[in-house]
Amino acid sequence: MKRGRGWLCLALTALAAPLAAATPNDIVAQAPASAWKAIDPHFLIMLTLEDGRQVAIQLTPRFAPIHVANIVTLVRAGWFDGAAVTRVQDNYVVQWARPDAGSQRPAALVRHPPAEYERPAAGLVFRPLGFRDSYAAETGHVDGWPVAREGGAAWLVHCYGMVGVGRDMAPDTGDGTELYAVIGQAPRHLDRNIALVGRIVEGMEWLSARPRGTGPLGFYKDEASALPIRSAKIAADLPAEQRPRFEVLDQTSPAFAQWIHARANRKDDFFVRPAGAVDVCNASTPVRRAP
């Protein structure tokens, strides 16, 4: 909403400037190498679209392990080579699947996975955000993932860019063959109703800027609108020189705490009144390509 291109990127001079004046981006840019953690390439999918553009999806096996294992199995079996983005519903989701959904699934696929929509909070290092949430008793981060916690359970939340597993009416019908990503206001009513498995860490704009479908629920009426997916690969399976290396800001680092504080209390020049709070979906953990 700033006018023109005159936005000033205030430098964070370590001693002279008060920390409060740093923007969230400044803090991320200045975070030391020790504040970054590598993303495991075994849980990183590189989707290559028809036009060669790539979308990187990080998976988390700690919340929906059977669904995630299914997706890895499907990627390795080539299920998504020849899939397409078949649905784009404004302010909601993009979804991709094989146009020939009835085709042969890999034998190793768990066809009816259990409803991995939440898990015990015990055993997770939960970093509370410290602000109210409209939906859950508490929100925060686990390994950098946006998580809600209540009554001994923890679950991933539907923030912008989060990836989940499409299913039919019955909860055990989401076998991973059809996936979606959130492209609008966090549809938190879906939390604990469907399995979230990951998030898009690069290339989100190649999906979010697709034309919206004009059929029911944003499905494309004409097959020609669907964006073909050339291939999907597990990053660890790529030759070393082609393997992308991503890092996330470690939620236990001082930089992460400073970044959350700055997100909640914007004091850079543009702001006249800091909000004093931030919701979990406005605090999506920073990711970068490893330098």
Which of the residues 181 through 220 are near its own copies (CB under 8 A)?
Answer: 184-194, 204-205, 208-212, 215-217, 219
Q: In whole angstroms, give the CA distance from residue 239 to residue 243.
A: 6
Query: Looking at 88, 147, 201, 260, which residue binds its own copies (CB under 8 A)?
Result: 88
* 115 binds its own copies per the rule CB under 8 A: yes
Residues 234 and 44: beta-carbon distance below 8 Å: yes
Q: Which stretch binds its own copies (CB under 8 A): 58-66, 237-245, 246-254, 258-266?
A: 258-266
Residue type, 184: G
Query: Looking at 15, 33, 169, 224, which residue binds its own copies (CB under 8 A)?
Result: 169
Task: State the nearest-atom distance from the C-beta of 132 to its own copies, in Å.
Answer: 5
Give the interface size with its own copies as a residue count (CB under 8 A): 74
Q: Which stretch binds its own copies (CB under 8 A): 27-35, 166-174, 223-231, 235-243?
A: 166-174
Helix, strand or coil, per DSSP, at residue 74: helix
Whichever of 41 and 80 has its CB closer to its own copies, that residue is 80
* 50 binds its own copies per the rule CB under 8 A: no
Query: Looking at 132, 242, 245, 289, which residue binds its own copies (CB under 8 A)?
Result: 132
* 57 binds its own copies per the rule CB under 8 A: no
Residues 109 and 74: beta-carbon distance below 8 Å: yes
Question: Tokens 């609008």 belong to which residue?
Answer: 184
* 180 binds its own copies per the rule CB under 8 A: yes
Query: Looking at 30, 48, 54, 173, which residue binds its own copies (CB under 8 A)?
Result: 173
Q: Which stretch binds its own copies (CB under 8 A): 48-56, 58-66, 224-232, 268-276?
A: 268-276
List phi, psi (to 5°) of 76.
-65, -25
Ramachandran bin of 215, using left for φ above 0, alpha for ψ from -120 to 50, beta for the remaining angles = beta
Structure tokens at 146: 């946006």
Q: Which stretch binds its own copies (CB under 8 A): 10-18, 44-52, 57-65, 95-103?
A: 95-103
Residues 51 and 189: beta-carbon distance below 8 Å: no
Q: In whole angstroms, give the CA distance from residue 133 to residue 129.
A: 10
State the DSSP H helix or E strand holding residue 288, giving kind and residue range, or none if neither. strand 287-289
